[in-house]
Amino acid sequence: MQIILGITGGVAAYKSAELARLLANQGHRVRCILTEAGARFITPLTLTSLTGEPCYGANPDQGEWRANPSIEHIELARWADLVAVVPATANILGKAANGLASDLLSTVLLATRAPVLWAPAMNTGMWEHPAVQANLVRLRSFGHAVVDPGEGVLACGEEGSGKLAEVAAIAEAIQVHGTPKLMSLSGRRVLITAGPTREDLDPVRTLTNRSTGTMGIELARAFRDVGAQVQLVLGGELPAPWGVETIRVRSAQQMLEASEACWVGADGLVAAAAVADQRPESSASQKMKKVEGAESLVLVRTPDILARLCAARRPDQWVLGFAAESEKHLEHASEKLKKKGLDAVLVNDVQGGRAFGAQANTLTPITAQGPHPPLGPLAKDQLARAVVQWWAGHLAGRPA
């Protein structure tokens, strides 16, 4: 994405440098525009160094707004896929809500047709003032997104609301607001299962597998970004993605119960969890003492979550499964597709530790028509986006 990052005159301006670096590391192109007050808090040199792009000042005689001042604001407005103002002062919110264009940033905000996102930060009294709140209502009515500030101790020493939201959350909101929505998925409810399940032997020992849940979490983000309402049933230790309703589970039984509850209201299922096939027949309530010599463990089957959800499936619901195979990938995945009646299976090759915990991966989609061209190798976030695009295309071509 090509992002314009507007930085206005608040103490939180130093955090915009961290945001600029995070966005640039995620592969976005970031051009900063400082207001006159913003430039008192952070320097253009810091921002150009972090982004590798020019940083623009408030007026034609500052920074890069030099060569052709009559059109530069329009070029920047057109260049942007998204304009984010972080931090946003009460002043810039008031200007933008009322269509004022007195410097480069406010002019670009008025000229652009790109999505606009605000991350306000200010003293609690300012934040709660009816004028500021009325301006935010107006900006939201233009389709702008607002990442509300949190609570905490503010730079002015007061404690209350008005503290800039976390940088990571702002970056996620930029991703969501800047991604074009897909007709076939926008507003649709998608249930995603992700991560490993754990089956306890006793209070300290557990049976699990090497899945981290990364791929499922990236799929949740990718479906969220194109407009789907995602419910994520998540095992493992990784943090839940921002803006996604997440239900934390531990065992296969818990994952089944949470998934069944969500499935009733869902349009589609992405079963990306690595569910343990077996669990110990019994789980001790106290730590088991070690004994000398060989021991045996009786394992019983856990519920087949995918089979149970497929059995309760309505004709209008779709199901995507995953298959992690170490040999005869396509053959085994085609069997799974038929046996469980899935719409598609995405196969990954887990031989030699590939896929689990790895950064890059390849997935081959299989449908009733046979195998499709492989997606990847790609980093898991990009691979998730490729899966969503592929599936949205497939859904768009399906008879309703």
Positions marked catalytic: 156
Strands 82-88 and 2-7: parallel
CA–CA distance, 30 with 202 (Å, rounded to integer): 51
**Which of positions 154-183 make contact with ligand FMN (CB under 6 A)?**
none
Strand partners for 163: 150
Range in contact with ligand FMN (rule: CB under 6 A) among 4-12, 188-196, 241-249, 330-338: 4-12
Which range of residues in 34-42, 167-175, 201-209, 376-384 is near ligand FMN by CB under 6 A? 34-42
- C-alpha R_g of the chain: 25
Binding status of residue 10 toward ligand FMN by CB under 6 A: yes
Instruction: Please identify, using beta-carbon distances, which residue of 8 and 317 lies nearer to ligand FMN.
Output: 8
| Cα–Cα dist 395/298, whole Å | 44
Count Cβ atoms below 10 Å from residue 208 Cβ, excluding itself.
16
The answer to whether 195 touches 232, Cβ cutoff 8 Å, is no
358 binds ligand FMN (CB under 6 A): no
Q: How many residues bind ligand FMN (CB under 6 A)?
A: 15
Of 122, 219, 266, 337, the one binding ligand FMN by CB under 6 A: 122
Q: Vertex 160, ends 157 and 163: CA angle to 5°?
A: 80
Nearer to ligand FMN, 122 or 228 (CB): 122
Q: Which is nearer to ligand FMN, 118 or 263 (CB)?
A: 118
Give burial (CB, 10 Å; 0-12/13-18/19+) of 17: buried
Which residues 76-95 are close enough to bind ligand FMN by CB under 6 A? Answer: 89-92
Q: Which of 1, 37, 74, 111 binds ligand FMN (CB under 6 A)?
A: 37
φ, ψ of residue 206 in degrees (nearest 5): -145, 155
Using CB under 6 A as the binding rule, whether residue 226 contacts ligand FMN is answered as: no
Per rule CB under 6 A, is residue 121 in the interface with ligand FMN? Answer: yes
* Residues within the interface to ligand FMN (CB under 6 A): 8-12, 35, 37-38, 89-92, 121-122, 126
